[in-house]
Every structure is written in C-alpha cells, then in structure tokens.
Amino acid sequence: MNTPWGKSDSKVTLARGISFVTTASHGGFAVTPTAALQYLSTAAVSRALKYGGYYFFEEDCDAAIVLFELPLALRMKWNKSLRLAGKYALIKSLSMWHSDYLIEVGQTPDAEGLKCFNENKLQDKLRAEKSPDLIVSASGDWAPWVEKGCVGVTTADDSRWLIPAEDYDNRANLNLLSNYPRVKVAK
C-alpha cells in the first residue's frame, strides 16, 4: 500500500477499511472513506491527511483520534494494553496535540495537555512570523561561534545569541529569548 510515508511494509487490519500501516520510517492509520463514514466523526476526518483515496492519521500525534473514536473491541484488537490505559490516556495525548478536536467533540481537554497545545500553536505562529524572541536551536560551546561557558541560541529570525550555560534551561515547551535576563549578541 502506498502511504504518505512511502510504501508500507506491514499492515494490521482492525476492521474493514481501517488498518494500521508501517513503513521503514513511519506509520499510522489508513482509513477508507466508507469506514470513515461508519466509525469517524466529521471532526476526526477533517484532521486526516488525504492521500491516495485514504484518510491517514500518523502514528505519533494523530492516531489517538482514530483510537478515541473506535469502539473498545477494535481498539483492543490493535493494542491490548489499552484496556489499562483506556480513554483517559487518549484524552491526555489528544490534549497535547489536538485539544481543538476534543473541544469540537464535546470533551474537556486535560489542563496540562491544553497548555502544551496552546504553546505549540503559539510556537508555530512565532516561527512563521520569524520572531526574534523564539529560540529555534541551541549549540554548546563546542560550536566555533559559541564562547566558552555559554550556550549559543538561534532565534526564528536567524539571529544568534549567547546565554550563560548555567542560566540556559530548554525544558520549557515554549523557549523564548526574553526568558533569559543575561543575553548578549553572538559575534
């Protein structure tokens, strides 16, 4: 089967028209339009990648949409461990990547996941705007342009900055230059 990620090398069918496919590098759910009408909401289908007559939901962020909407018996066929995780784990995952979907289908997103979702949307917006505040990459002092004891960061506008290594903390989902009081321009 041809997928957005290349030719599939494995396929697990959950129901007629719903399969989980993998390629050498990636995978996800492939859903026919007929199966989508039977099992998926309009909200789910609107978030699919349409390719080759199928709706695809990639494995990292989008597959949870399909799993959330399938009956338990079909979810269990795909992954028996879901019996323990159930819908709560799916809501946590969907909250991070598709809070807008959850809201559209009448579910309340997980608060922590919703915060992450909103930060991701803001990050996408700042990246598109080439914001001078959004840090998009970091290099250690091994890089020729970074002074010893510093972390060199590049912002979305392609500017380079130096931050003392002891100050730098990239654990925040939204890493902004304005969060660091001691910043200097890299030479």
Whether 27 has a pLDDT exceeding 90, the answer reads yes
**Nearest in space to 35 (alpha carbons), one of 22, 17, 49, 53:** 17
How far CA 1 is from CA of 4, 32, 74, in Å, comes to: 10, 13, 21
pLDDT at position 84, please? 42
Q: What is the mean pLDDT of residues 162-176?
A: 92
How far CA 120 is from CA of 50, 58, 70, 88, in Å, comes to: 23, 18, 27, 21
pLDDT band at 83 (very low <50, low <70, confident <90, very high): very low
pLDDT at position 82, please? 52
pLDDT at position 172, please? 81
Rank 67-76, 87-96, 116-125 by mean pLDDT and report only the highest.
116-125
pLDDT band at 90 (very low <50, low <70, confident <90, very high): confident
Q: What is the mean pLDDT of residues 29-49?
A: 97
In angstroms, the CA 93 to CA 109 distance is 9
Secondary element (H or E) of residue 137: strand 135-139
Please give the model's pTM, rounded to 2 decimal places.
0.79
> CB–CB of 14/77 below 8 Å?
yes
- pLDDT > 90: percent of the chain: 81
Q: What is the mean pLDDT of residues 10-25?
A: 92
In angstroms, the CA 157 to CA 154 distance is 8
Largest CA distance in the chain: 60
One-letter amino acid for residue 44 of the chain: A
Whether 141 has a pLDDT exceeding 90, the answer reads yes
The overall average pLDDT reported for the chain is 92
pLDDT band at 8 (very low <50, low <70, confident <90, very high): very high
> CB–CB of 91/98 below 8 Å?
no
pLDDT band at 86 (very low <50, low <70, confident <90, very high): low
Give domain limits for the chain. 2-112, 135-185
In 44-112, the DSSP E strands lie at 49-51, 54-58
